[in-house]
Structures are given as structure tokens and as C-alpha cells.
Amino acid sequence: MPKVGFVDLAPVVVSVNTSDSRHLKFHAQLEVNAPYMADVEKMKPRIMDVLNGYLRAIEVSDLEDSLALMRIRGHLLRRIEIVVGEGLVRDVLVMEFVLN
């Protein structure tokens, strides 16, 4: 078992670009290599900024695809790696993903 920890990100609710009023509720945790937990925690404000910016740009059509969640996780992980550096965060674990 690899030595990892988890950094909880605050739940985010964003308006989705549609003609009606729809919202996406998103909550995630980051799987972090244990030695970098404190470093990633310090960068949470920047991580949340990246997460908010990305999620606000999503269209409903992006969410209707069966592979949408996998694609979103990949895009978020790449953006987070740009913020914190490569090799610190192992994965983005989606705890909640609700479109209403």
C-alpha cells in the first residue's frame, strides 16, 4: 500500500451554462503522496480557484457523456499539477457530483 493522505476540498456549487437554471454540486478529495500533504494543504486556495474556474466553464453537453466524470477528473488533475507541481497529487477522488 502506498503512503498517501487525503486533502478534502470544500464542496462547490456552480451554475451550469444552460437556458434554464441548473447547478452542479461537486465535492472532491485529493489523494496526495504522504510527504507532500502540508505542501498541498498550503495550496488549497489556488486549487479551489482552479477548480471553480474549470467547473464554471463546463457546458451541460459536457456532462451528458458517459465518460464525463473521467474526463473532468483528468482535466482537474492536470490543472492541479500545474498549481502544486507534478508528483505531489496522485488522483482526484470525486465524493459528490450532482447536476440539478
| Topology of the domain comprising 4-99 | Tetrahydropterin Synthase; Chain A (3.30.479)
- State the DSSP code for 93: E
CA–CA gap between residue 67 and residue 14 (Å, rounded): 20
Supply the DSSP string of 20-50, one letter for each residue.
S-EEEEEEEEEEEEGGGHHHHHHTHHHHHHH
At 10-51, the pLDDT tens digits run: 999 998 876 678 899 999 999 999 999 999 999 999 999 999
Q: Dig out the grid coordinates for 96 from the structure.
A: 459528490
pTM over 0.85: yes
At 47-76, the pLDDT tens digits run: 999 999 999 998 888 888 888 899 999 999
Contact predicate 92/50, CB 8 Å? no
Helix 44-56 to helix 68-84 angle (10° resolution) is 140
